[in-house]
Amino acid sequence: MLLPQEIIRRKRDGQALSLEEIQFMVDGITNGQLSDSQIGAFAMAVYFNSMNGTEATALTCAMRDSGQVLNWDHLNLPGPVVDKHSTGGVGDLTSLLLGPMVAACGGHVPMISGRGLGHTGGTLDKLEAIPNYSISPTSQQFESIVKDVGIAIIGQTGELAPADKRLYGIRDVTATVESIPLITASILSKKLASGLEALVMDVKAGSGAFMPNFAQSKALAESIVEVANAAGVKCCALLTDMNQPLAPSAGNAVEIAETLRYLKGDTSAHRLHQVTKALASEMLLSSGLASSQQEAEDKLAASISSGAALERFAKMVSALGGPNDFVERSELYLPQAKVVKPVTAKQSGMVKQLDCRELGMAVVGLGGGRSVPGAAIDHSVGISELVELGDVVDKGQNLLMLHANDEDAWQAAAKQIQQAIKLDEPSSAQADVNPVYQRIGPC
């Protein structure tokens, strides 16, 4: 007979758990037979003693199977089911770009996304800047949109990985969030429940990343790739830079506007373009939609130049309740902040630091994110036209445009932003560093 206290003791003492023991714990988390204190003790034992790859895979699969697991076979989709997931960042709107692009190349992307967490923005919050966009369609609507449009970005349903929802809530209040096997199982249980054939992970590294340092980011990427492939889903990961916001915009409506600029052909935000192209190429390669890097890049470029990716985005918005003419008349639909003016440089110099976390928290302070769960969001606020590391600016030159809804809020955010952006004496021009640090296989 299995006893939860004995399983907790074994993991507390550093022993590896069996598949049966892990399944027993996940069943107890899901059906309520384990108390919050027992789940917290289990999470703490894992936090201190970790899990090997076999244990982490067993935990992930048990959590995946704790609820509904989507299966797309009955729809006879003409292309592969593939997705991408990011560990979160500031100005990271790649999901909004590569989803329609991959769909235009023949993929089917059932993207189940999340809300903002801490200083990082959430894809769902951005999409809800679009009037009447529904993140909670019925299962039938979701399937139909994925089949007909190729891309649907929605929120997690209560039926997908319910064990993760309870376990995460307890981890959040027991200081056990930062555990690589628990993070791996949390991310992958939801993604694998989506019925994917291939998954590409974007794991951030840098001052605005979830993980505290590069080594931890790399360890998380390696864990996710190992477990996903062991669970039967082809997976690779890219380690990407988050020492500055990825796009020149951060906020909700401002990032939707940035999305439309990109999909309409303005790919001049080069860091955003590099990361989006790299992730989308991996999606095409891992799902068999391209046989070489060059072919993948050519197909993605064509999806933009032909307008096909923009058309997929427009169809997704319309199918999920948004305006039929949103792409053509977005300025009439996206909320606009009342106070929009630049934050300027107080001295001349080179941009040496953009504290990514502080810039994200400035947006949160304006109302663009949440300080408590469930709080309402002001979709109109944020920053745009942000300078990059290495830019040389003159005194009085714009560092960014700040979007706020009253003067006091603007002033408070401007002060925080001035402290987050450090200028120094200009030096020789910095080399253009590729924001994609490393690929972790095997796919």
Active-site annotation, residues: 83-86, 123, 171, 186, 190-191
CA distances from 442 to 73, 81, 405 (A): 25, 18, 48
For 246: left if phi > 0, alpha if psi spans -120 to 50, otherwise beta; the answer is alpha
Closest CA to 4 of 31, 39, 30: 39
Residues 316/149, Cβ–Cβ less than 8 Å: yes
Amino acid in the structure at residue 327: V
Tokens 């009342």 correspond to 338
Spatial contact of 365 and 412, defined as CB atoms under 8 Å apart: yes
Question: Residues 299, 289: contact at Cβ < 8 Å?
Answer: yes
Of 376, 371, 381, give the one whose Cα is nearest residue 413: 381
Helices (H) and strands (E) in the chain, counts: 17, 13
CB 389 within 8 A of CB 244: yes
What is the SS3 assignment for 67? coil
Element (H, E) at 115: none
Residues in the chain: 443
DSSP 214-229: HHHHHHHHHHHHHHHH
Q: How many CB atoms neighbour CB 328 within 10 A? A: 11
The helix (H) or strand (E) run that includes residue 38 is helix 36-49
Give the Cα separation of 134 and 322 in Å (integer). Answer: 8
Radius of gyration of the chain measured on its C-alpha atoms: 22
Beta pairing, strands 392-393 & 349-354: antiparallel
Joined tokens for residue 246: 């990825």
For residue 435, the Cα-to-chain-centroid distance in whole angstroms is: 16
Question: What are the tokens at 37?
Answer: 């204190």
Q: Is the dihedral of CA 152, 156, 162, 163 positive or negative?
A: positive
Cα torsion through 311, 108, 87, 203, rounded to 10: -100
| Alpha helices, DSSP H, located in 287-393 | 293-305, 308-319, 330-333, 356-363
